[in-house]
Structure 1
């Protein structure tokens, strides 16, 4: 029974990424998972950010003989933003890098999702004030540009 519930949970992962949660941007595509991962990484670079982290269970699960849909978290940021965020709120820096989430859908397409930077930094708004809100707005625009480039 445990194996069945595990499989059902894994099958639900792509669906969870597609439901628009508060503060999330979700972009469905006709692209394959591998293509969307590559295009997202390229778009991050094109828009002046750096891929700082990448993590996902897909390859590790496959190495264990478990096949799950493609699933990768890509953390993006750059040092300019890191320094500026730190000037406003040391605590807010725990949110960096801000992450993109690429998920493979049952039909072979992929979805790009992310929490908007303004949503991510909202808990620190009182501490970071207007300068942090300005940084979050800039990052909202950057992340939207990355998403538009990656999904088109």
Structure 2
């Protein structure tokens, strides 16, 4: 009996950890797609470049988990910014730069499709507008438009 319980426990813990598809939440843009995780990740990177921003960072636990024998859904965080925005943000608020790069999140859904999501830059920068004022709010609005263009290009393949 103990062996059966140990086997079942090992089996349950080795199943994919589907946390469920991301749902819309306050301050986020969430875009379900029909693309696979890998295809959407590549499309996001291309769209970032074609919209004048740079992929500054990337992180994801999927491959590292696989190297440990653990299967989890595709999961990639892509940090996006550029030096022009960095300099302009710093002119308004040193504290606000803690939020750069702003992240785009690509997650694999249980059905094999992927979702592109991100916190709206205006939402991310909102806590600093008391310091950065209207200038920082305007920069955040520009970033909102840029992130929306990235999402549209990545989803439609028009990058």
TM-score band, normalised by the shorter chain? Answer: over 0.9
**Structure-2 separation of matches of 1:26 and 1:99:** 13
Residue 100 of structure 1 is matched in structure 2 by 104
Which protein has the bigger helix share?
1
Deviation at 1:105, TM superposition (A): 0.6
Deviation at 1:2, TM superposition (A): 9.6
Q: Which has the larger radius of gyration?
A: 2
TM-score by length of 2: 0.88
**Structure-1 separation of matches of 2:42 and 2:104:** 12
Residue 147 of structure 2 is matched in structure 1 by 143
Residue 61 of structure 1 is matched in structure 2 by 65
Tell me the number of residue pairs that the alignment of Structure 1 and Structure 2 aligns: 148
TM-score by length of 1: 0.92
Considering only aligned residues, what root-mean-square deviation do their CA atoms show, in Å? 1.7
Please give the per-residue CA displacement for 1:58-101, whole angstroms capped at 9, x wherever unaligned: 00000001010000000000000000000000000000000000
Q: 4+ residue runs of structure 1 moved beyond 3 angstroms?
A: 1-8
Question: Which structure 2 segments of 5+ residues have no match?
Answer: 1-8
Question: Which structure 1 segments of 5+ residues have no match?
Answer: none
Residue 130 of structure 1 is matched in structure 2 by 134
